[in-house]
Amino acid sequence: MGARAPGQSTWRHPCLHVRGLVARSLRISTGVTPHHPCGSPPFQIKMLSDRKRELEHRLSATLEENDLLQGTVEELQDRVLILERQGHDKDLQLHQSQLELQEARLSYRQLQVKVEELTEERSLQSSAATNTSLLSEIEQSMEAEELEQEREQLRLQLWEAYCQVRYLCSHLRGNDSADSAVSTDSSMDESSETSSAKDVPAGSLRTALSELKRLIQSIVDGLEPTSSRRIDDDSLEEQIRQTSEDSRALRELMEGERGKLRQSLEELQQLHSQVTLLSVEMTALKEERDRLRVTSEDQEPKEQLQKAIRDRDEAIAKKNAVELELAKCKMDMMSLNSQLLDAIQQKLNLSQQLEAWQDDMHRVIDRQLMDTHLKEQSRPAAALSRAHGSGRGDEPSTAEGKRLFSFFRKI
């Protein structure tokens, strides 16, 4: 609002000058010619005055609309900041869910160690009972076969988990060679089902899970483009502030801002695709946790895992909703940007019309003063001597017309 006062004052002073000059020219014209046809300068001046008032009214309406659009843009900027804050909170919740997932994986490893210890105890018991009867030996051999089958199944499950983690890591890195390695490992896994399961290398699953965690964390960290959006918002606010100062420069800046908004939308689409990829990866992790939950026998880690899954699903759903709302706000900002450009174009047209009207006004007044001056000079000297006594009252108007003419010459 403070930036519009100088513009209004610059419009008012020429209007006051023009109105004063029109009144003085009307007084001069009424003193010279008592009757005027419809195409005379006073009629044109009146018509141009009406046109000027109409243009001033339209200009004030355009300025008010510009202020309303500026207020709407500020509200949208506040909404964008709120949504960014909500997105940051959801990212924190997602990080907490990942920490709970790590705790569940640690519990699973502890259970796996316990199963291996029980397996070793059973194997020691079976080796110590060599002097039992034939029936007990048969039972022990059957139990050993069942135990071996369980161990083989557990190895297969571990190998599948290791292959899936490696596939996720290679998919996040976009490495084709890693994909071929995973397919090779999958073929080895299928062949192991017929013969014997391959053992997972010591520490390989832990290393793969750490790498998957690092890749997911890097993607989550890349989902926070707050600095670029704040820079775009600052540039947009700066360009809106300059609308009342320089309309032509603002139009060029708005073209640049349109490019920035398109770039922001493209970045938003890329982020949306990354979020979709992250949701797919989270679904795969959910399936992995489900398998871990089936293999675990303790009830408390099972409940913690279910709670972590629910929290993670809620966080992803809320994050998707926030991203959708942010996209809607970006579309609203683009619409308001186009409306603001239309208003600025209309203001430029009105300014050009007002300048043309002022030029026409100057030409009409100059023409009228020139005609009056020529008529005064064309009077015969005898008529001036006879009308010397009665023409004293007309000399001030003639002198005033000369001063007005000299004033327009200076302009």
Tokens of 197: 């399961």
Residue 31's pLDDT is what? 45
Would you state the pLDDT for residue 207?
Answer: 78
Calpha distance 214→76 (Å, rounded): 35
Distance in angstroms (rounded) separating the CA atoms of residues 347 and 353 = 10
- Structure confidence at residue 102 (pLDDT): 84
Q: Which of 254, 255, 259 is nearest to 240 (CA)?
A: 254
Give pLDDT, residue 1: 42
For residue 88, count other CB atoms closer than 10 A to its CB. 13
At 112-150, the pLDDT tens digits run: 787 788 777 776 766 555 555 555 566 666 777 777 777
pTM score: 0.24
- Helices 247-295 and 226-241 meet at what angle, rounded to 10? 160
Residues 6+ apart with CB under 8 A from 125: none
As a three-state string, the secondary structure of the chain is CCCCHHHHHHHHHHHHHHHHHHHHHHHHHHHHCCCCCCCCHHHHHHHHHHHHHHHHHHHHHHHHHHHHHHHHHHHHHHHHHHHHHHHHHHHHHHHHHHHHHHHHHHHHHHHHHHHHHHHHHHHHHHHHCCCCCHHHHHHHHHHHHHHHHHHHHHHHHHHHHHHHHHHHHHHHHCCHHHHHHHHHHHHHHHHHHHCCCCCCCCCHHHHHHHHHHHHHHHHHHCCCCHHHHHHHHHHHHHHHHCCCCCHHHHHHHHHHHHHHHHHHHHHHHHHHHHHHHHHHHHHHHHHHHHHHHHHCCCHHHHHHHHHHHHHHHHHHHHHHHHHHHHHHHHHHHHHHHHHHHHHHHHHHHHHHHHHHHHHHHHHHHHHHHHHHHHHHHHCCHHHHHHCCCHHHHCHHHHHHHHHHHHHHHHC
Query: What pLDDT score was predicted for residue 194?
Result: 39
Tokens found for residue 122: 């059973």
Dihedral (Cα; 242, 243, 244, 248), 10-degree rounding: 100
Task: Write down the pLDDT at residue 230.
Answer: 53
- Cα 294 from Cα 111, distance rounded (Å): 12
* Apex 310 CA angle, 306 and 311, nearest 5: 115
Predicted confidence (pLDDT) per residue in 228-251, tens digit: 545 555 554 565 555 445 555 555
Task: State residue 23's pLDDT score.
Answer: 58
Name the residue among 207, 331, 317 with its Cα closest to residue 262.
331
State the CB neighbour count (10 A cutoff) for residue 37: 7
Could you say which residues of the chain have pLDDT below 70?
Answer: 1-41, 123, 125-141, 174-203, 205, 220-258, 261, 293-305, 379-411
